[in-house]
Chains A and B, each alone.
Chain A
Amino acid sequence: MKIPAFVVAGQPNDGKTTVVSTLTEDDQMKISPIPGSTRMCRGYSMRVDGLDKVIIYDTPGFQNTGAVLEWTREHSREFVNPAQAFIDQPEHREEFPDDCEVLRPIAEGAAVIMVVNPALPVMQDNRYQAEIFRLCGATRVGLLNMRAGAQPQYLDDWTDLLKKEMNTWQKFDACEAVFTDRVELLKVFATATPEWKEQMDEVIVLLEASWRERLAQVAEGATRRLRSIVRYRTTETVSSDGESELLKQRLEKRVCDEVRKIEEDFRSEICRIFRHSQNHWQGGAELDVDIFSADVWELFGMSKNGLIIASALTGAGAGALIDVATGGTSLGLAALIGGAIGGVSAFMAAGSAVQMELPELRLGPLRIPRKKIGGQSVKAGIQRRSKLPGILLDRMVAYAEDAASWAHGRRGTEPTLSAERRNRSFCNELEQSPHQSEAGKLQALVELWYRTRESSVFIAGDQQQAIQESERWLTDRIERRLRERTMGKG
């Protein structure tokens, strides 16, 4: 067989389909908790530019291990390819269809991945299977499917068996495996099959490149959407002064809906990039909460009160410096005023993520709000210096991380990834970064976006260049973060 092929075999319910599902990133496979529910033999082809490179077969497992072993023991010396000889017997195809299906790829030269469950004892059937594979002359890789939550109490027994009967063996948790684990497993397969090593190594390199491309796509998508949010502006004309309040509510809702829509759009793209179908995968519970809910702001950013206190303290600190500079003659007035300004501005900013721009009279540098706004245009967008872009970015990165780390073989269990969400917020990481300017860079980029939305037609070349450079920095930074989470720091 020219193309590397692996047949996943083992006892029913040892997690063969889960392993295949994780390796092939296919969450559409039916994984039933009821043992023996795989009734089909399926070959999943890993294609590079449309060309088959590796095939992985998911099988229902042996149904007549004893019979197959007996026949194989008896005839293995007569035939060069005992597996093919077994299948060639017409009565075998009739009587042992499942077993023929397991043996068919082996007859064609596929290597065997024997999936075992160390939470269950080693049975006679398992030993028989290992012997069948050996008698068929197949390359054998033992896979200890370390299921999360299940106690691997028979690990030693299994290790002994795999050491004796397999060419090599590896531990693998198909429900928790991230990209690196999958690559590591493929490397084990490559080592076990020297005749395919070159092809397998090529596939691994291509897979890694493809994964990096996916992460870059995610990062670019996050940056693009963040820019759309910050720059978003909606306009409506007020027909009479009386309806201004209603109009404000309408505009506010429109802005919020736009933010939700963009976030939803990003999530759909993430699911597509990481090949998750919406029914089978779930992000962290806190990511399901509406972005404008107070809980989200508490979790990702800061509570309204916290924000006001922090801003007031910052303002007071700045004022205190002036007090010190005046030698105390200002009697702490500057600190008081600074604190008040900081607190009030934070209160106003924290009050709503949406900013209304009411019509105004412009007299040179002076801008006077119009009292009567009937017949005028009112604009709304994201509040300047709002925490919303930061929170949105955190949520997007967190969602992408969850999606990238969610094994496709995993079904319907609560993700364990969400517990440390606060600690691993992307913006927090920027703030704590040894490169102190990183958090400032993000703020500067948001500010640039904000400023350029006001004069969206003409922007000075250097300003535009600054935006492009900062966007590239942010994209790279997000990509780096995702790479570290899914591929390790190396």
Chain B
Amino acid sequence: MYPTSSQHESVSQRRESPERSRRKKLRWDLAALIDLEAYQAADENEDRQKLKQRDRAFYLAESFNSAVDRGVVLRRWVESRREENREKNSGQISSSTGELTEEIWRKVRRWGGYGCILLGGLYTWGALNVTGRQVNVTLFWTVAVCLPLFLTVLGTLSLLNRKGRRGGGVIAPLLRDFALKKAQEAARLLRQRISSENAQRAEELHGLVRRYLAGHEGVLRVYTIHLGYSLSLGFAMGIVLAIVLFRLVSYQDYGWQTHTGWLTAERMHDIVEDVARPWSWIDGFGDGHGFPNLEQTEATRIYRNQPLLQPQPTASEAWSAFLLGSALGYVFFPRLFLFLIAGIRVRRIVSMEDFSKYDALWRRMTVATVEIAPPSPEEEVELPAGKQIRSVTEAEPPGISATESLLLLPSDNERLPDMERLRAGLIQEHSLDFGASEILPSLPSARRDLITQLAGREIHRIVLVQEVFQVPTDSLLKLLKAFRSEIRGVFLHIVLLGSGEIDENYRTAWNARLRSLGDARLLWHELVIPQENTTANLSGGGEA
């Protein structure tokens, strides 16, 4: 469930705070995803009750809108866990697992990029730096432009086609299985050589990676692709920089050669012109500047075993510009474009990540904590308990006649046996005969009247019939006290009437409460009169 309206109010007051606007900016990235997984793994063996308290408290404190997306909440949760861990570690470890992974990843990309720039530069420099003859443009173009372009296209096509090939193929699964098997073997050997504690830690870490790999294969793939494009962009940049640098600090003649009679200077110029179309429209990069014109093309044709051509500075500059344009147009910019696309894709796929599998965490946060709070001891109202007084019982003197004895029946007496059966039972089992009977009213005022009336009569014994399941309440005890105070010497007999075997619990309740009166002239008896049977049975009795 979602927070209550009062909680929403308190949040709306904070809505525009800088802290809140900072939170809005939180986005998913690899680090956050790994941390989400890592914190989940850390919570696995924690006490569920504590987790519930923590996560629910977080959710309420954040007071998300009821329509909030699960990803937004989880992202904020990751951030809150990071902050919590930072506080716990008091600044000793500033990065979480995810942040550390992201940092490593970034460094690999950066230094790998620099390495690739250097590699591309050296590769191009090596191809340009020929002594004693012209640079073969066709050859250079093939290795420095065509090959990288081909690799870019091939890589992109294979990625686009990846979905179709998934699960198929022969070599890739074999290689993967082989690598996995070897990795397992190596891990086993490693485990035997390191301490069990370290082995345990290593297994935990690998478990985390494994878990992450299983859950976020898509994300990891785009991250890897992005890394690949970063490196290849670096390589392309190296090529471009080497050409520019070579133009600035060195001089080299360029030429082209062929064995085929078909490739005449005109045809070569046509091809070059077509290739140079992406930049030939730019002012100053047209025919003869951005690429060689027909004369320049013709003048730079190389024939094997022919004397070297005279230096052609303008033609070489045009060829150099053509090579630079090709490297930029066909290598650098396509790779830059793919790099940017991959960057967008990384963001997109990360933001589209499916968080449905974090159901347990989501429930802990969103389902309200429902608990029943028992009253605190000071809230409890303890009522005065009956006194436990045990007094000496006074035996009833013999010779109380029936006329001195009164039977009191409860007002709701429709279930009682008829008077004859009751009398027979009382006489047979308890020798309690009576000369008159009265109905005991249930309201106190009528009772008071009855007691006043009885006080003026010559009564030595009152037999009060009660159904045994009617647990003695305070009002009955008050009645008995009133009898005692108004008719002092009277013997009070309470007959607990039952129709079957009397429940021990009722007996205990009656005994406890009647004894609490501490009345020496109060006696109580059990009388069982079965509903169908006319025979009365005695089950037991008690005395105060």
Contact = CB atoms under 8 A, between A and B. Distances in A.
Given A40-B380, A48-B368, A124-B411, A458 B210 contact: yes
B437 interface: no
A243 to B, nearest CB: 21
Given A44-B374, A65-B473, A458-B206, A210 B443 contact: no
B202 A124 contact: no
Contacts of A272: 49
A70 B445 contact: yes
A42 interface: yes
A121 interface: yes
Interface residues of A, number: 74
A84 interface: no
Contact of A47 (B1, B56, B372, B443): B372
B213 A464 contact: yes
Determine chain B's interface SS by DSSP, over half rule.
helix
Interface stretch (B28-36, B359-367, B425-433, B455-463): B359-367
B304 interface: no
Given A42-B375, A63-B473, A33 B213 contact: no
Interface stretch (B18-26, B224-232, B382-390, B395-403): B382-390
Given A47-B373, A49-B56, A34 B203 contact: no
Interface in A197-236: 205-207, 209-210, 212-213, 216-217, 220-221, 224
Contacts of A220: 360
Interface string A44-59: 1111111110000000
B369 A67 contact: no
Contacts, number: 188
B370 A206 contact: yes
Nearest to A457: B187
A310 interface: no
A407 to B, nearest CB: 14
B513 A36 contact: yes
Interface stretch (B260-268, B287-295, B501-509): B501-509
Interface stretch (B115-123, B176-184, B340-348): B176-184
B48 A120 contact: no
B382 A69 contact: no
A120 B382 contact: no
Contacts of A217: 48, 360
Determine chain A's interface SS by DSSP, over half rule.
mixed
A40 B383 contact: yes
Interface in B487-526: 505-506, 508-509, 512-513
A461 B359 CA distance: 21
Interface of B: 1, 3-4, 7, 44, 48-49, 56, 60, 176, 180, 183-184, 187-188, 191, 202-203, 206-207, 210-211, 213-215, 217, 357, 359-360, 363-364, 367-375, 379-385, 410-412, 415, 442-445, 447, 469-475, 478, 505-506, 508-509, 512-513
Interface of A: 11-13, 24-26, 28, 33-37, 39-52, 60, 62-67, 69-70, 96-98, 101, 120-121, 123-125, 128, 205-207, 209-210, 212-213, 216-217, 220-221, 224, 269, 272-273, 275, 455-462, 464-465, 467-468, 472
Given A457-B203, A461-B217, 18 more contacts: A11-B471, A34-B505, A39-B382, A41-B381, A44-B375, A45-B373, A45-B375, A46-B371, A66-B447, A101-B383, A121-B415, A206-B370, A209-B1, A273-B48, A457-B206, A458-B183, A458-B184, A468-B215
